Amino acid sequence: MGLQAPRGTRDILPAERVYWQYLETTARQILDRAAYHEICTPIFEYTPLFERGIGEATDIVSKEMYTFNDRAQRSLTLRPEGTAGVVRAYIEHGLHSQGGVQRLWYLGPMFRYERPQAGRYRQFHQLGVEVLGSADPRADAEVIAVALDILQALGLKELTLMLNSVGDREDRSAYRQALLDYLTPYKADLDPDSQERLDRNPLRILDSKDPRTQAIVKEAPRLLDYLSPRSRNHFEQVQSLLQDLGINYQIHPALVRGLDYYTHTAFEFQDLSLGNEGTVCGGGRYDHLVEELGGPATPAIGWAMGLERLILLLRERPLPPRTAPYLYMVTRGEAAERQGLILAQQLRHQGYTVEVDLSGSAFGKQVKRADRVGATVCLVIGESEATDHTVQVKWLTSGEQVLVSQRELLSENWRSRFFASA
Ligand code: HAM
């Protein structure tokens, strides 16, 4: 086996990481303003959490989990998503007993054994939110609005919000029977995956990408027609709140999502420019999951965004400018090198980014490197500057150059000049 990253995983090199940092900072700020609090849960959990939480018949549990036994023969699974772990932590730490609504968010790697392609990986990253303890349709509207804020702040423009209600368990079991009655006579015409789903998870057939199956499904009974008055009322209220917030949406009756825990509201944000893997965010209500995992009955709703997909879109645009001045220290000769090292450290303590050239090469070569790394200013200390404890300040954009004392460079006066040119 060669020394390569495993199939479906990828290294994020520094040139790409800056986009991730930008994404994380932007999202953090928006989540903070909406009073969401960060939570971190382990990357692996006991396997039954996902089997019970996500559902044994789902693709995720039946064929995509990274499951292994540890040395004590306990079955563990790398988390394929974040909701089950957050709910486990919510129950385990009694967060419900704090009363009120818990608004939580998380960011981290998830693992699914899927067929890799652009925008789909085996290790990928999700940013997610979970709001626990409210059945109010305002919670549905709020999480959707927060997701939209993040996607828009990142500059996504070709966004569509697809909305559906998958009803409650009772609505779904009535619908499931109607769907089975309709699809069973067509069994032989369905694609092989859908044939298999007919017994296990017929609702997922609605999601099939196969054109023949799609044509059959088009005429199938609609889940929306099987909603109880209570479910219908919730769905209508969510829509009316979204309208109040000026958020456009399309109702998509076939949107069922790939996890079993959903009830009522289900939604996805798609970005058309991404093609096949265009779903940048998916979520919904899951009013029974906390109880099913052993906690008190607690309605909840959340979503998760696939960050690799957002990065694909972000990378097409220029990077946002840096906020701190980037100074590049060019020195030659032993005394200059020592002074450069000390001055760099003092400047860092004042909030500048300072890179020291360690190459020992000619001045010209060092200055060229300063240009290449995108520095704002070059600080040059040669033999005569070292003798006088001065430094040449050279602006890389204008070429302007000034000789100042090293002490003067640390003054407030220079600080405002540098920050103005960052
Ligand atoms: P999900 O739809 O399975 O939902 O995943 C959410 C998002 O994660 C997807 O829309 C996609 O952007 C991204 N994603 C999923 N699989 C991959 C992959 N293999 N490679 C790259 N990106 C991927 C959930 O995970 C739910 N836990 C969301 C949720 C939270 N529902 C309620 N609360």
| pLDDT greater than 80 at residue 410 | yes
pLDDT tens per residue, range 270-290? 998 887 778 999 999 999 999
Mean pLDDT of 15-33: 95
CA 52 centroid distance within chain? 24
Atom of ligand 1 nearest to the CA of 60: 3
Residue nearest to atom 15 of ligand 1 (CA): 306
Atom of ligand 1 nearest to the CA of 82: 27
Joined tokens for residue 2: 């060669």
**101, 134 contact by CB (below 8 A):** yes
pLDDT tens per residue, range 134-182? 999 999 999 999 999 999 999 898 899 999 999 999 999 999 999 999 9
What is the Å distance from ligand 1's center to 87 Cα? 16
What is the Å distance from ligand 1's center to 319 Cα? 26
What is the Å distance from ligand 1's center to 306 Cα? 6
Residue nearest to atom 29 of ligand 1 (CA): 303
Tell me the pLDDT band of 422, cut-offs 50, 70 and 90. low
- Tell me which H or E stretch contains 242: helix 229-244
Residue type, 173: S
CB neighbours of residue 271 within 10 Å: 21
What is the Å distance from ligand 1's center to 301 Cα? 14
Partners of 327 in beta bridges: 354, 377
Q: At what angle do helices 137-153 and 14-33 cross, to 10 degrees?
A: 140
Question: Side-chain half-sphere of 144: how many Cα atoms within 13 Å?
Answer: 30
| pLDDT greater than 70 at residue 42 | yes
> Sign of dihedral through CA atoms 203, 204, 209, 210?
negative
Domain 14-168+228-314 listed as CATH 3.40.30.10: no
| Pairing of β 37-38 and β 102-111 | parallel
Q: What is the DSSP string of 257-305?
A: -S-TT-EEEEEEEEEGGGGGG-EEEEEEE-TTHHHHTTS----EEEEEE
pLDDT value of position 126: 98
Give the separation between CA 58 and CA 50, rounded to whole angstroms. Answer: 10
Radius of gyration of the CA atoms of the chain, in A: 28
Residue nearest to atom 13 of ligand 1 (CA): 306
Phi and psi (nearest 5°) for 211? -60, -40
Q: What is the DSSP string of 18-77?
A: HHHHHHHHHHHHHHHHTT-EE----SEEEHHHHHHHH-TTSHHHHHS--EEE-TT--EEE
What is the Å distance from ligand 1's center to 271 Cα? 14
Atom of ligand 1 nearest to the CA of 121: 20
Residue nearest to atom 23 of ligand 1 (CA): 306
Pocket of ligand 1 (CB under 6 A): 81-83, 112, 114, 120-121, 124, 126, 128, 130, 258-259, 279-284, 286, 302-306, 308-309
**365, 357 contact by CB (below 8 A):** no
Tell me the pLDDT band of 325, cut-offs 50, 70 and 90. confident
CATH fold group of domain 326-420: Rossmann fold (3.40.50)
Q: Is 125 exposed, middle or buried (0-12, 13-18, 19+ CB in 10 A)?
A: buried
Phi and psi (nearest 5°) for 153? -60, -30
Domain boundaries along the sequence of the chain: 14-168+228-314, 326-420
Tell me the pLDDT band of 21, cut-offs 50, 70 and 90. very high
Mean pLDDT of 86-107: 95
Please give the mean pLDDT across all residues of the chain: 94
Tell me the pLDDT band of 315, cut-offs 50, 70 and 90. confident
Tell me the pLDDT band of 367, cut-offs 50, 70 and 90. very high
Let me know if the fold of 14-168+228-314 is the same as that of 326-420: no
Give the separation between CA 265 and CA 168, rounded to whole angstroms. Answer: 10
| pLDDT greater than 80 at residue 319 | no
Q: Of residues 107 and 157, which shows the higher confidence score?
A: 107
What is the Å distance from ligand 1's center to 132 Cα? 19
Residue nearest to atom 30 of ligand 1 (CA): 303
What is the Å distance from ligand 1's center to 303 Cα? 8
Give the pTM.
Answer: 0.92
| pLDDT greater than 70 at residue 65 | yes
What is the Å distance from ligand 1's center to 85 Cα? 14
Residue nearest to atom 32 of ligand 1 (CA): 302
| pLDDT greater than 80 at residue 421 | no
